[in-house]
């Protein structure tokens, strides 16, 4: 099986925690790598952001990343990416035609469209979904879509000062829901939200939870924890609360700072320290020093350590150095950070939103907080900071909970969905581009099926 994976707005090769790179990058890279290890050939198409990387990057046997030129390499904000949908799609088609056109008559309609080169398309995020929808009909293959976030859901839980997602995005997502052959969701709650907000059909949805690399994210020994703290410049005897992720209002790092400042004032004997690991993203790009300024305003700058984003092989030491990982997000479709933390034996205090109630076993591997009032967060964090026995028991349980999720299980479920779709598509005679193009022509201009 050959799969064209579309990840237009961010590359799986980018460092998570910088700019628009985050959990989706971790997801796409791990799914693609594990698909390849299961014998599925995967090409990930993404927008080129640097000339030095080259058009084709061989990541692993059976896995390539294709950098497609669409707009300037640098300086193009995420909000402007919709203007490059046509250019990006044209770049994808050009690459595939060059490869597929070498077989048979290069002037044939199939070679010109690139039909027959892939068995299936899997798009990620709404921009890629729009591209995947067009390629689906040009190539005559089924489209699988994973959204990662949904505009209608995000707008129901905005952080204070955050900008709502535009109606244009919600309309594009509705078109994807109406036209994709399968929507992969992380949780049943996400499936229910799609049925409510986008009138999705349950038969078009498949719940496939993400996984975690339990071989990389493992609990550290006391000696490993001490070494990690020395390397990161954290006092050995401190109580450490860490935040890992992109620095923007949606992820809630400011909630942690306010809650921690309260704890630091009330419990100076606990020697509480805060670690924030990540880079500005989204609205955080407008004020990259906002969290530093907030720490100074709260009078806790000396207790907060800001770390730059780091690759997984280095990130594990941050998890191991922490006593608690805070995930105060306003919206989180699943919560890979929470899962990685637990795999590393670190209990989690997370917001009760999105997929986090599934990711965190409340009272066993962590705590869940209703809402985003810093006072409530201070109370939840305090219960673990002050109770060593409770925190240590959660630390013992957390890895076994995380072990229930693995990328191999995720990918095996995904391959089953792929095969079912490909078999059904071929059984109904929809594998020829002319059939698909006829279908495209029969739709109304809104993009909905007749």
Known binding-site residues for Mg(2+) equal: 319-320, 322, 346
Residues counted in the chain? 450
> Facing residues of 182 across strands?
144
* Angle between helix 388-402 and 336-343 (nearest 10): 110
| Residues contributing to the annotated binding site | 9, 15-16, 20-25, 78, 125, 149, 169, 246, 251, 310, 319-320, 322, 332, 340, 346
Contact 367, 391 (CB under 8 A): no
Place of tokens 């998570």: 16
Q: How far apart are CA 282 and CA 149, in angstroms?
A: 14
Which residues touch 389 (CB under 8 Å, ≥6 apart)?
Answer: none
| Residues contributing to the annotated binding site for UDP-N-acetyl-alpha-D-glucosamine | 15-16, 23, 246, 251, 310, 332, 340
Residue 124 belongs to what H/E stretch? strand 120-124
Contact 368, 400 (CB under 8 A): no
Q: How far apart are CA 43 and CA 56, in angstroms?
A: 9
Place of tokens 């992109």: 246
Q: How far apart are CA 4 and CA 19, in angstroms?
A: 25
Residue in 162, 323, 188, 328 with CA at minimum distance from that of residue 245? 328
Q: How far apart are CA 85 and CA 303, in angstroms?
A: 45
Strand pairing category for 56-60 and 63-68: antiparallel
Q: How far apart are CA 300 and CA 184, in angstroms?
A: 42
What's phi and psi for 79, nearest 5 deg? -65, -20
Residue 256: both structure tokens together: 């942690």
Q: How far apart are CA 317 and CA 226, in angstroms?
A: 10
| Residues contributing to the annotated binding site for 1D-myo-inositol 3-phosphate | 9, 20-25, 78, 125, 149, 169
Residue 304 belongs to what H/E stretch? strand 304-307
- CB atoms < 10 A from the CB of 438, how many? 11
Contact 174, 196 (CB under 8 A): no
């Amino acid at each position: 099986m050959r799969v064209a994976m579309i990840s237009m707005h961010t590359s799986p090769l980018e460092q998570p925690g910088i700019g628009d790179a985050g959990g989706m990058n971790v997801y796409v890279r791990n799914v693609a790598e594990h698909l390849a290890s299961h014998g599925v050939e995967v090409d990930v198409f993404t927008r080129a952001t640097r000339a030095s990387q080259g058009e084709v990057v061989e990541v692993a046997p059976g896995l390539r990343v294709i950098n497609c030129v669409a707009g300037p390499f640098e300086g193009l904000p995420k909000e402007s990416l919709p203007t490059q949908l046509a250019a990006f799609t044209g770049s994808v088609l050009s690459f595939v035609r060059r490869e597929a056109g070498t077989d048979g008559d290069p002037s044939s309609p199939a070679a010109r469209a690139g039909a027959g080169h892939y068995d299936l398309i899997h798009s990620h995020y709404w921009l890629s979904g729009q591209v995947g929808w067009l390629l689906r009909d040009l190539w005559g293959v089924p489209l699988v879509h994973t959204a990662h976030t949904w505009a209608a859901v995000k707008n129901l839980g905005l952080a204070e000062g955050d900008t709502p997602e535009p109606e244009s995005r919600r309309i594009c997502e509705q078109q994807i829901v109406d036209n994709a052959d399968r929507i992969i969701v992380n949780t049943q709650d996400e499936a229910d939200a799609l049925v409510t907000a986008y009138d999705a059909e349950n038969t078009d949805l498949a719940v496939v939870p993400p996984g975690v690399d339990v071989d990389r994210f493992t609990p550290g020994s006391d000696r490993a924890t001490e070494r990690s703290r020395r390397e990161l410049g954290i006092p050995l005897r401190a109580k450490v609360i860490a935040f890992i992720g992109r620095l923007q209002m949606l992820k809630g790092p400011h909630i942690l700072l306010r809650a921690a400042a309260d704890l630091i004032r009330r419990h100076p004997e606990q020697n509480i320290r805060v670690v924030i690991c990540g880079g500005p993203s989204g609205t955080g790009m407008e004020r990259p020093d906002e969290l530093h300024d907030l720490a100074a305003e709260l009078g806790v700058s000396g207790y907060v350590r800001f770390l730059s984003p780091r690759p997984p092989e280095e990130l594990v030491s941050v998890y191991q150095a922490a006593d608690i990982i805070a995930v105060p997000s306003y919206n989180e479709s699943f919560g890979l950070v929470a899962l990685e933390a637990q795999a590393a034996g670190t209990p989690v205090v997370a917001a009760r939103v999105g997929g986090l109630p599934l990711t965190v076993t409340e009272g066993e591997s962590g705590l869940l907080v209703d809402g985003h009032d810093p006072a409530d967060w201070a109370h939840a964090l305090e219960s673990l900071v002050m109770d060593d026995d409770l925190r240590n028991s959660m630390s013992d349980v957390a890895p076994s909970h995380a072990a229930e999720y693995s990328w191999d299980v995720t990918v095996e479920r995904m391959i089953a969905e792929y095969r079912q779709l490909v078999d059904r598509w071929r059984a109904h005679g929809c594998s020829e581009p002319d059939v698909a193009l006829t279908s495209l022509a029969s739709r109304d201009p809104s993009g909905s099926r007749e």
